[in-house]
Structure formats: C-alpha cells, structure tokens
Structure 1
Amino acid sequence: MGDTGIVPAGLAAAGSKLWRSITADYDVEEHEHLLLLEACRVADRLDRLAMESAGAPLTVKNFKGDEVANPLLVETRQQGIVLARLLASLRLPTGDEDEALRRPQRRGGARGT
C-alpha cells in the first residue's frame, strides 16, 4: 500500500480526503503527484460550487436579458469533467483486480505521425 504522507497545503476538506484516500491505498509515482494535486484542487472547487449553487436558480438572465443556464451549474459540469479526466489519467485500479492487473500498461511515446 501507499504512504499517506503529508496533505499538501491549501487543500480543503474534499481535496484532503481525496489525497489521503488515494495515497493511503496506492503508490503514486512522483510524476503523478501533480495530477493528483490538481484533482484534489478540483474536488475542493466542486465543493465550493455546490455550496454557492445550493438554492440558486437553474437559469439567470444574461446581459441581453435572455434566460440562460446559471454559470455556477455550467462551471460545476465543466469541473466534474476535469476531475473525471484527471482521475482517469492516474489509471487507478477500479476493484478487486488481480495484482498483476492492478494498473493498465502505460503507453510509450507518441502515437501517430
């Protein structure tokens, strides 16, 4: 198993929890720390967006007076996509897979021309 280590400064509750849960269970390589740190920051951002958008209307009027999606909801969706991509890029195992199959083989070099 991994080493919980020290939670990086600046992370709030959600980011700290994500950091501890991943570093406690997995050996995160040095080059993956930056991806994990950014995923933790996004998790914190999603928490703040959830708090700010609680009770907020689903639509608001833009500068032209048109009803548009609330920017908080749009940003929440975009940050959710970012979090999913960051976590997928860490290639963490998803269950009780055989030890030999714990992490998918990493691709080497650039593909295509």
Structure 2
Amino acid sequence: MFNFITEAQREQLIAHGRTSRATDDFDPYPVVKLFTPDAGATWLLSELDETGQVAFGLCDLGLGSPELGLVDLHSLAAVRGLMNLPIEQDLHFRPDKRLSAYAREARAAGRIQA
C-alpha cells in the first residue's frame, strides 16, 4: 500500500502496536527510518494501529523540536520536499537502541541522529 514500508515492516509495526496497547511500559526499537531527500524531515516509526494507517514514532520536521507522536501514513505519502521528491526509507538504518533513547538524544540535539 505504501511504497516506503515493506510488508514485513508493516507486520512488525502492527505487532508492536498491539503490544503497546497491551503493555504500559513498552519501548520498542524503531522498525523503519523515513526521510525527505530534499528537506530536513525524518521519522523513526515503531508502531502502527490495526488499520495500518496511523503510525507512532519519533517525528522531526527539521525545525529543531523532534517529538514522539502519531502520524498518518497517507499524509506521509503526500509529503514532498523542496524539489518535489517523496519521502524515502533509509535502507541502511539499523536501530541500535530503543525509541525512548533516540527521543532523548534528538531532544538534546534538536534533531534525530540515527
């Protein structure tokens, strides 16, 4: 459905979403890193709702204030940067810490460093 997330990633994101709804202290590793190749936005997504439409993760629009929150995947699919390029997946991203650790570092630095 969305060309920036594979089916395997989608399944893992939905599984994380189920676990998150069942557990108060769930802190997963991000599953996917998305970015705008022609702008400064980055997303580290860790969960999807059951519909596969709304993701949770660390969102950085390049304005110096990354935050944890929800993002609609249809909205992400519509995002374009300065040269009208769509978002892409960072195929080299390998998470080495939990989402909360990325969020702490991003808040301190003013941007996602992953």
Same fold (TM over 0.5): no
Larger Rg: 1
More strand by share: 2
The answer to which structure has the higher helix fraction is: 1
TM-score (norm 2): 0.30
